[in-house]
Chains A and B, each alone.
Chain A
Amino acid sequence: MTAVLETSDLSKTFTLHARGGLVLPVFSGISLSLRPGECLALTGHSGSGKSSLLRCLYGNYSASSGDVRIRHADQWVSLSTAAPREVLEVRRRTLGYVSQFLRVIPRVSTLDIVAEPLRRLGVAADEARSQAAQWLARLNLHERLWHLPPATFSGGEQQRVNIAHGLIAGHPVLLLDEPTASLDADNRRVVVELIHAARAGGAAVIGIFHDDEVRAAVASRCLDVEDYRQSN
């Protein structure tokens, strides 16, 4: 099987202009390759740059040097040089991301938020909502919450909305930033099952899993971001 995501000599540095051009090195020289069905867990202490790496892979952060390439519509797309509309197209069809925090859109119901990735793929509203309902039910989100905007939900409830939103479109590459951080044991188990199902369906997964048990259950290998720490 050929890779679906690759980085070559990827590095990330922040330059803080308000602090006199202070340079904050994060990581450098990361070359990785991911195949369908694999799950790579990123490890390292808090602040080691795991989330920054994930954001680079999503195209949310720009790479300071090196490149991120993703297999999209039978072609390699470089996220560093792709036009914004190409990056958005990659995210629509190929690249899913579950962030730690839900970005709430005023007035939009939970059901519609979860249904949105399907709507963007052209699925009819009713069908998208009905699939969204199945995902929310699977993640044990109480039905009375489905028609409310998630702004006032608890951390764990918002995280489950985020997971449903991130997984519903069945993207072949998934980036998961601590998907189980605020979940109880039952819901952690559900998420582990969902990740297994995604992998079995051929998805390639890169994730940050703080919970050792979860990581051991889902990951096929690990990458310690600390090994790529840039020295000042």
Chain B
Amino acid sequence: MTGDLLLSVRGAGKQFMQGNRLRWACRDVSFDLYPGEVLAVVGESGSGKSTLLRLLAARLGLDAGSVHYDVRGEAGADGGPGRSAAGLVDLAQLSEARLRWLSRTDWGFVEQHARDGLRMNVSGGANIGERMMALGARHYGKLRSEALSWMERVELETDRIDDLPGSYSGGMQQRLQIARNLVTHPRLVFMDEPTTGLDVSVQARLLDLVRELVNQLQLAAVIVTHDLAVARLLAHRMLVMKDGCVVEQGLTDRVLDDPQHPYTQLLVSSVLTP
């Protein structure tokens, strides 16, 4: 967890029409993220946490504030457009093509429903190979051996490489989605409720895997979850959201063990511990 700032968010907000009134789905969110740092965004459904994730990943446009990222490559070398003093680039200044390149190479996005993050009509191996091809890899043998090695890393049986993801179990699909995202060695991964909807034993296995990979690869991650145990296990820091606003943020164990805000106290005290 060293190095220079990777992501800097200032006053980020998004408005939606609800009925015929504008409402802030998320508002005035600010934080910095460093390489290797894992941030959990927690809150109940409707708190704006998934909207925030989509804003950060530039899948939604900001209505307020800014998101800056340490874009590596040519945009940075010559101090390109929108580059701040800290060397970060304002994502709003990047072209569509450049953003697409960023999200296919240096970022990962793990969807809650693996089906939304996978291509269901091509094989498991092709799902992993796709992002490598976006980086210019064309050699079939190399693509296949890289796909096999990633299947092993995420504990998928390699003889399933030619099967369609639809034939995989939910937990396997989620692991495939993770392999598909990590194959290009991104520095930042966004995860939207990665374990929700999986059986408990499958969840434990996936969490353990994510924890290992994040450590090994020194990934920075923003993980949206409503599950405080997931935040405790994976995140260095957390951010608690309610009604679109951040009510508390800080070191994960401090927020969970000594919550200050009334809403965080309610959230922490509402969890059943077996």
Contact = CB atoms under 8 A, between A and B. Distances in A.
A60 B236 contact: no
B257 A60 contact: yes
Contact of B208 (A15, A16, A17, A107): A107
B254 A18 contact: no
B260 A84 contact: no
A85 B37 contact: yes
A99 to B, nearest CB: 10
Contact of B204 (A15, A85, A107): A107
A37 interface: no
A88 B236 contact: yes
B265 A16 contact: yes
A17 B34 contact: no
Name the interface size band of chain B: 20 to 34
Nearest to B37: A85
Contacts of A119: 215
B233 interface: yes
Name the interface size band of chain A: 20 to 34
Given A85-B236, A87-B251, A18 B265 contact: yes
Interface in A53-105: 55, 59-62, 84-85, 87-89, 103, 105
Given A84-B251, A85-B1, A85-B34, A17 B258 contact: no
B81 interface: no
Q: Is the contact region of chain A dominated by helix, strand, or loop, or is it mixed? A: mixed
A119 B269 CA distance: 33
Interface in B54-91: none
A15 B252 CA distance: 19
Interface string B252-272: 111001101110011001000
A108 interface: yes
Given A85-B236, A105-B233, A60 B258 contact: yes
A89 B205 contact: no
A59 B257 CA distance: 11
B7 to A, nearest CB: 13
B253 A60 contact: yes
A176 B24 CA distance: 47
B9 interface: no
B117 to A, nearest CB: 24
B237 interface: yes
Contacts of B237: 84-85
Residue among A17, A18, A87 with the highest chain B CB neighbour number at 10 A: A17
Interface of B: 1, 34, 37, 204-205, 207-208, 211, 215, 232-233, 236-237, 250-254, 257-258, 260-262, 265-266, 269
Given A17-B266, A85-B1, 12 more contacts: A15-B260, A55-B258, A62-B250, A62-B260, A84-B236, A84-B237, A84-B251, A84-B254, A85-B37, A85-B237, A107-B204, A107-B205
Q: Give the 3 A-B CB pairs with smallest separation, nearest first.
A: A17-B262, A106-B204, A84-B251
20 contacts: A14-B258, A15-B260, A18-B265, A59-B254, A60-B254, A61-B257, A61-B258, A62-B254, A62-B258, A84-B236, A85-B37, A87-B251, A88-B1, A106-B204, A106-B205, A106-B208, A107-B205, A107-B208, A108-B208, A119-B215
